[in-house]
């Protein structure tokens, strides 16, 4: 499946689609939290996918078979004259049929009879799997999730989408950054821990978060009053939490190194670190005197809250000098750059958008793909993607 995966997204999109191209399956995620919202199977029955219902394989996806034998005629369907389609909706699943050529001006009951008595049975061309008693209810819950940019409300909406015993783990967490006195990061979803710069020790943190996924030593030469020395940093990469924790090895408290910096990764789709870290959203309530800053905001919105003289104080960071170039013939990168217009609609298929994707070309737009710039303010260092002006990461010092 390595070369059969496509990500469909846009900088201002409210959803991110992971498309399994060989199977024609779309996995639709909330762009902000990266939680799976629905599964869409297109061109049903034409690919090597096995379908089972109550342990038995389904061999037919014709209207009469589904409506009369599989689920029964308990739930009436709905028609969409614009797309010339008819949707049979059941708890957690909906079947879409193309009824072009059938009398669309008929009422619901008359149309059911027409479809049932039709000499030529109609095959289902799309299946949608979702959370809800009906597609109408499920689509509304999905809209509630993707339209709300408040992370507290979003977590509440997401909890309504999933049964309590199947709630997503490590995917809807967010960090609260406090810059008053000693900077700290609170992550309530993960062990109720607060990380405090200059106070928390490596031993305390690992006892709460567990061992890191990877570690790295970094040496930095420093000069002080004519003499030179080496400062050694130990970096703990918590890919599963979206965090990097940086300790200074020669600064000790109770026999353990002290936390010096915290980096939060936003796992943005067009960043070169995409999928390396779990997505961790954040909010900063004390970056400015009154306004709260959120990780999902475009950085130009945040800049409007800052002093005007800092408007263009950026440092360019060319990660492509040491990261993978997706157009290299030696690249293992599974992603291609394609165009995407976000247009979530309960009555249409995401297949229409994905099949119109343009071939990737190394044009002016691609030249900025993955490139970032740095902006420092207060105790925060923002890494901002040039393409889209979104926050890729933030480091608190």
pLDDT tens digit string along 209-235?
999 999 999 988 877 777 778 889 999
Dist. CA 128–CA 136, nearest whole Å: 12
Q: State the pLDDT at residue 113.
A: 80
Q: pLDDT over 70 for what percent of the chain? A: 78
> Which residues on adjacent β-strands are paired with residue 88?
95
Q: What is the mean pLDDT of residues 63-78?
A: 81
In terms of pLDDT, which residue wins out, 218 or 193?
A: 218
Measure the CA–CA gap between 40 and 348, rounded to whole angstroms: 11
How close are the terminal C-alpha atoms of the chain, in Å? Answer: 41
What is the average pLDDT value for the chain, to the nearest integer? 80
What confidence tens digit (pLDDT) does each residue in 107-147 have? 666 777 888 887 778 889 899 999 988 999 999 999 988 98
pLDDT at 104 over 50: yes
Buried b (16+ CB within 10 A) or exposed e, 190-213: beebebbbeebbbebbeeebeebe
pLDDT at 20: 92
- Neighbouring residues of 263: CB distance < 8 A, sequence distance ≥ 6: 243, 244, 245, 246, 393, 394, 395, 396
- Name the most confidently modeled range: 75-89, 272-286, 296-310, 338-352: 272-286
Q: What pTM was estimated for this model as a whole?
A: 0.80
Burial (0-12, 13-18, 19+ Cβ within 10 Å), 185: buried
Task: Give the distance from CA 383 to its chain's centroid.
Answer: 18
pLDDT interval class at 205 (50, 70, 90): very high
């Amino acid at each position: 499946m390595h070369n059969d995966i496509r990500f469909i997204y846009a900088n201002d999109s409210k959803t991110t689609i992971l498309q399994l191209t060989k199977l024609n399956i779309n996995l639709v995620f909330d762009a902000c939290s990266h939680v799976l919202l629905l599964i869409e199977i297109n061109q049903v029955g034409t690919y090597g996918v096995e379908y089972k219902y109550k342990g038995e394989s389904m061999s037919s996806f014709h209207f009469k078979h589904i409506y009369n034998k599989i689920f029964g005629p308990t739930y009436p369907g709905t028609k969409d004259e614009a797309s010339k389609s008819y949707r049979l909706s059941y708890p957690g699943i909906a079947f879409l049929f193309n009824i072009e050529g059938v009398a669309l001006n008929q009422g619901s009951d008359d149309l059911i009879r027409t479809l049932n008595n039709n000499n030529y049975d109609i095959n289902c061309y799309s299946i949608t799997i979702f959370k809800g008693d009906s597609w109408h209810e499920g689509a509304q819950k999905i809209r509630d999730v993707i339209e709300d940019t408040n992370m507290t409300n979003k977590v509440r909406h997401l909890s309504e989408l999933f049964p309590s015993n199947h709630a997503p783990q490590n995917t809807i967490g967010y960090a609260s950054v406090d810059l008053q006195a000693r900077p700290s990061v609170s992550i309530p979803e993960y062990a109720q821990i607060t990380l405090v710069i200059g106070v928390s020790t490596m031993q305390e943190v690992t006892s709460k978060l567990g061992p890191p996924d990877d570690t790295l030593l970094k040496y930095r030469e420093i000069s002080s009053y004519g003499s030179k020395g080496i400062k050694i940093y130990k970096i703990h990469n918590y890919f599963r939490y979206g965090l990097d924790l940086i300790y200074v090895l020669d600064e000790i408290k109770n026999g353990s190194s002290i936390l010096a910096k915290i980096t939060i990764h936003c796992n943005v789709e067009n960043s070169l670190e995409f999928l390396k870290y779990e997505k961790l959203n954040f909010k900063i309530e004390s970056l400015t005197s009154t306004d709260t800053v959120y990780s999902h905001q475009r950085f130009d919105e945040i800049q409007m809250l800052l002093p005007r003289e800092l408007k263009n104080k950026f440092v360019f960071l060319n990660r492509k000098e040491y990261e993978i170039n997706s157009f290299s013939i030696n690249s293992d990168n599974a992603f291609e750059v394609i165009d995407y217009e976000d247009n979530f609609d309960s009555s249409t298929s995401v297949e229409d958008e994905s099949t119109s994707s343009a071939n990737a070309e190394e044009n002016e737009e691609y030249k900025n793909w993955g490139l970032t710039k740095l902006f420092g303010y207060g105790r925060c260092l923002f890494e901002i993607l040039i393409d889209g002006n979104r926050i890729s990461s933030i480091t608190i010092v």
